[in-house]
Amino acid sequence: MRLIITTSRHTNPRVRSFVKELANSLGNSIKVNRGKMDVSDLHLYARSLNASRVIIVGRGAYGNPGRITFLDTTREEPRYYPLILRLSGVSLGRDRGLKTIPAKIPTPIVISDPDPETVEFGQELATAFNRPFFEEVDKGLVGEYEKVLIIEKVRTKRVKFVIKFVNRNFKLVGPRIFIRDVILKELPLTRHV
């Protein structure tokens, strides 16, 4: 269930800060500096560490994180997992004065509304992150984990979902991710990410 989280080749300090906070929030994750590694190198490195996925965060408008893609490392040959998240932006914990402490165990994914679109997105995200998925927020369940990733559906033009990390007391303990669009298709490996 280990994840590797890195950036696309062309990055900036804000994207790198987001990757660090995301790795700390998801638990059992390793932040890796991309350097000159291509997709094949990332795939081999992830397999050597027994990681199931490589999460790649790309830069968007105005230097904010703009896209998240998932490299599947469960097969001999690299391939992208068919989920792409287009972001409207992120709110880092440090922007709110929070220090993101690394979670020791994998963070489960929970939805706040049992709407069919939210359930489908939650299931896809749980599979992509290789994390447990629960369809309802239960205080007893949340109490079993250090952190929980909650998906909330939002009804605006620029944001479909908000992802946030909370602790046992439902206080924010990590970044908030504003999802503009969810694309269910596999990227070709020839694409440089």
CATH number at residue 46: 3.40.50.10480
pLDDT at 182 over 70: yes
Q: Which residues pair with 83 in a beta bridge?
A: none
Domain boundaries, position 32: 2-183
Q: Is residue 147 part of a domain?
A: yes
Task: Give the C-alpha separation, 166 to 160, whole Å.
Answer: 19
Q: Is residue 189 part of a domain?
A: no
pLDDT score at 10: 87
- Quote the number of domains for the chain: 1
For 14, what's the count of Cα atoms within 13 Å in the CB-facing half-sphere? 14
For 168, which DSSP code?
A: T
Of all residues in the chain, the percent with pLDDT exceeding 70 is 97
pLDDT score at 155: 83
Q: Is residue 72 part of a domain?
A: yes
Q: Is residue 192 part of a domain?
A: no
Least confident of 52-66, 162-176, 178-192: 178-192
Q: Is residue 193 part of a domain?
A: no
pLDDT score at 165: 96
Q: Is residue 175 part of a domain?
A: yes
pLDDT at 21 over 80: yes
Q: Is residue 191 part of a domain?
A: no
